[in-house]
Amino acid sequence: MNKDFSKYQKIIDNFSGQVLNSDFDAKFEAVTKRMAKTERFLLKMELKRLAAPCNRLIDLRGHVDGECSAFEHDGKIHFLDKIARGVFNDAMLRYGGYTFGVYEAAMNTENNFRVIYQKEKSKLRSVPTETPSKALEKLQFPATYYRFGPYFDRCEERMNFAVTIEITYAKGQSFQCTSADISVHGCKVRINAITALKIGQELSLRFLGLEEEFSFANNNNFSYQVKNITNLDNMQLIGLQRLVSDTSRPDGFSQFLQSYIQGNKRRYKVNLDNTLSALKARVFEQYVLPKSNELPVFIESKQGLLSPKYALTCHNNQSLYQYWQDEKYYSTLYCLITPERIEQLKKLAPLDKSLLVFCFRHQSHGKLYFYTADEVQLAEDESFMQQFLGFAAAKASFSIIQLSLLSVELKHAETQLTLANTLKKEHQYLNAAMSDEVKALLLDIPYIVVANEVTCRSRLSAYQAFSYHGINMVKLKKFGHKRLSKPFSVDEVGINYRNHRQELRFIYKTPAVVKIEDVIWHGHSHDFSTSGLKVELDKASVLSKGDIVYINFPALQKITSAFDLSALPYEVVRVNTAKTIINLRVFVEKYQHVGRRFFKALIEKNRDKLTPEEYAMSSPGLAKALRNIYSATSKASALIVQTSGSRYKVEAIAGGGSDTRLMLAMKQLSDRQGYVNLYPLFGHAKVMSELSVKLKKMQPNDTPSTELLYIAINSSHKAVDKAVTVKVDTELGSDKLKHTFIHQALKNGQFFCVLMKLSRASSPDMTYLNPELSYISTYAIHRGKQIEQEIWSVAGIVQVIDITNEVLLQYQLSRK
């Protein structure tokens, strides 16, 4: 029936499930005697329809604001969320079975998107001059901030273990408390009071709970030192470290704890807090860094001169890197990042400020010439400043680069897994320490200059409005950079998690004979390193990963008598699908490997003659170290877009630091401690809806999609919707509207302008994640499953770039 019975809902509710009762007709007639006969008849038919048996299946996945799961009833599987399940059960009791009334009640719950939309639509019709009800409008978009590196490891496993402990401190005073966790050389205790204990204080502990089952010889008191104290309401968590006089060998109590923990850690569970937090951040780091839009350039200091040395590149920042290449593809980053600008950035960095550089390229006789002028240089002559910007903006190659400086800390170069003492042999290389060669290179790298492309095509008209008629060409030429006779050396280093090479490889083709048992294959080498080798076979093999083969190098043997290059043992670490290309690493049984010593000598004597493999033009391990330093230092923040049913959600934000102006403002807007309120980014209804539409169509290698937001925050208002005003770029269609919005924002509080760059996420390299994930799943399988779902739910990355300084500079210039 299509008739609307909403005005008779009370009658329908009162008679639901009573249609088959003998007294139904009498009761119904009494209640509806004042209704018209036609209305009464239609209402009675509706009650009978609702009480009729139903065979339809209910699937609310993607239709409600909630997580749906399978729900079985009478042999049929429905998919209901928590609210619909409760409504279903209540309606079943009223109707006495699964009827159309039960079906429609479950399909019309208050969190159903269709019901929400209809309510909003009806309210808009009834009050056309008002906005939708604020009850339906989200004011809080809570997100947790995940910081990249360093990831703290524990030297020992901790076991969650509650046992009564007696603590004796100054002057023989003592009290009892309970342990929270325990390791061989430490423990954490829970005290239900606030004590006067201090960090560094020495205590005497007696494990009363353990004494009931075990005996610890004559001395049951053990010395510990307070390492940290956490106050929670009227309770304290105190971390303690055991004091041992002789650390060279374990005493009886340490041996007891070690065996006790190993024997009971599955029963009491291992404390996984640090591994859980590290793994979550590491997951997001793998998604975020390969989608970075900014270009990190590492600055080398040689003989007192600062200059660009390494550039970390990926798909998204490749266009920015290539912009700064001449016609022969040599780097011209020295034009953008000059020694003078680095000195200027060193002064701006403590103030958390950036430097804007306005650039364009000129082509003449097949050669590219670069022109750059920063805001400090242009401020010296304001009349020429507008002329330069107008002239530059008229060029197709006009670009605005925002530079900021970060200090390099060598401690960030290594990020160990949190399982150093429990890693299996096959994963040990993930925790390999930096080589001395990489450490030596990093000592000459004091800074990172981060370059962000902040040119917005929708805002070019503001710069193009500046007249450059009669521009002084002599002044203009001063901002042109001379071409160097010797190409400037900047090494491009890819942000790549999938390469695990620890040594430099050299391309070298020489005959190789591969033997396993009595089977022999002939082929030739592709490349080699001190500890590895790649060989292409003439015919397909039957080799697989883990096989031990023996290699002969007949041609190399002819040129050396100092080394026996026959039957050299190697382990197969990878085989291609066709079984013709095998990757090998040295296999050492008892003595030194002859092949390793030979190739090491070959490299040392012929370093200048050998051709390095294209990937590794710099030292192996350097790319990982540079990536680690950048991830732990970067001020850029990225939103993590995850799937939730058929929708998307943003509940995580990740980066190297959360102390930027925008992040601090969003923290202040949050009603929950430790969370960030993303209302300034998603408070506008259009932002999330457009993000969802774009993301569904995107592929991982597509160019990032950009959204420009203008944000005003008036802290005098307590209500978030009153304090924050968000406008998308298309709403402020003219420069006049933009200037009005900026003026009002600055007058009443804070102004922000941000670029949101959306990219489709690529899959992570699980090699880096599996050791910790497997460890968590061993002792907390539900936690492991939960994190695994989070890993594969990431659909997109939104990098948030604050371009407020550039917008304000243009705004101030336009007002003059």
Distance CA 383, CA 389 (A): 10
Q: Cα dihedral sign for 193, 196, 199, 204?
A: negative
| Residue 133: per-residue pLDDT | 38
Name the residue with tokens 């591969």.
Answer: 514
Mean pLDDT in the chain?
Answer: 86
Centre a 10 Å sphere on the Cβ of residue 267 and count the other Cβ atoms it contains: 9
Mean pLDDT check: name the lowest of 323-332, 415-424, 768-777.
415-424
Nearest to 306 by CA among 336, 345, 339: 339
| Residue 128: per-residue pLDDT | 43
pLDDT for 50 beyond 90 = no
User: Rounded mean pLDDT of 771-796?
Assistant: 87
Q: Is 775 helix (H, G, I), strand (E, B) or coil?
A: helix
| Residue 131: per-residue pLDDT | 39
The larger pLDDT score, comparing residue 748 to residue 62, is at 748
Extended strands (E) in 722-812: 724-728, 750-760, 794-802
Distance CA 816, CA 254 (A): 75
What's the DSSP call for residue 245?
Answer: S
Q: Is 811 helix (H, G, I), strand (E, B) or coil?
A: helix
Q: Is 425 helix (H, G, I), strand (E, B) or coil?
A: helix
Tens of pLDDT, residue by residue over 494-534, are 887 766 556 677 888 899 999 998 899 999 998 888 888 89
Tens of pLDDT, residue by residue over 292-311, are 999 999 999 988 899 999 99
Centroid of chain to Cα 263: 36
| Residue 383: per-residue pLDDT | 85
Tens of pLDDT, residue by residue over 136-176, are 357 889 999 999 977 766 778 888 888 899 999 877 888 99
| Residue 212: per-residue pLDDT | 80
159-269 matches 506-614 in fold: yes
β-bridge pairing 186-191 and 235-242: antiparallel
Tens of pLDDT, residue by residue over 89-136, are 888 888 888 888 889 888 888 888 778 767 766 655 554 433 333 433
| Residue 777: per-residue pLDDT | 85
Residue 685 in tokens: 């209804």
Distance CA 113, CA 61 (A): 11
Tens of pLDDT, residue by residue over 247-281, are 667 788 888 898 888 888 877 778 787 888 888 89
Domain ranges of the chain: 6-119, 159-269, 293-408+445-489, 506-614, 626-815
pLDDT for 644 beyond 50 = yes
User: Rounded mean pLDDT of 219-230?
Assistant: 89
* Distance linking the first and last C-alpha atoms of the chain: 68
Q: How confident is the model at residue 701 (pLDDT cuts 50, 70, 90)?
A: confident
Please enumerate in sequence order all residues whose Cβ is within 8 A of that of 419, keeping only pairs 6 or more positions apart, or say none: 153, 275, 771, 772, 775
The larger pLDDT score, comparing residue 758 to residue 125, is at 758
In the beta sheet, which residues pair with residue 491? 310
Are the beta carbons of 617 and 778 closer than 8 angstroms?
Answer: no
Mean pLDDT check: name the lowest of 203-217, 416-430, 451-465, 592-606.
416-430
Distance CA 648, CA 669 (A): 23
Q: How confident is the model at residue 626 (pLDDT cuts 50, 70, 90)?
A: very high
Mean pLDDT check: name the lowest of 61-65, 226-230, 667-671, 737-741.
61-65
pLDDT for 704 beyond 50 = yes
| Residue 421: per-residue pLDDT | 65
CATH superfamily of 506-614: predicted glycosyltransferase like domains (2.40.10.220)
Distance CA 339, CA 449 (A): 11
The larger pLDDT score, comparing residue 597 to residue 480, is at 480
Which top CATH class is 159-269?
mainly beta
Q: Is 735 helix (H, G, I), strand (E, B) or coil?
A: helix
pLDDT for 43 beyond 90 = no
Residues written for the chain: 816
Tens of pLDDT, residue by residue over 533-553, are 899 999 999 998 889 999 999
User: Rounded mean pLDDT of 632-661?
Assistant: 90
What's the DSSP call for residue 53?
Answer: B
The larger pLDDT score, comparing residue 714 to residue 435, is at 714
- Give percent above pLDDT 70 in the chain: 92
| Residue 137: per-residue pLDDT | 53
pLDDT for 695 beyond 60 = yes
pLDDT for 612 beyond 70 = no
| Residue 521: per-residue pLDDT | 93
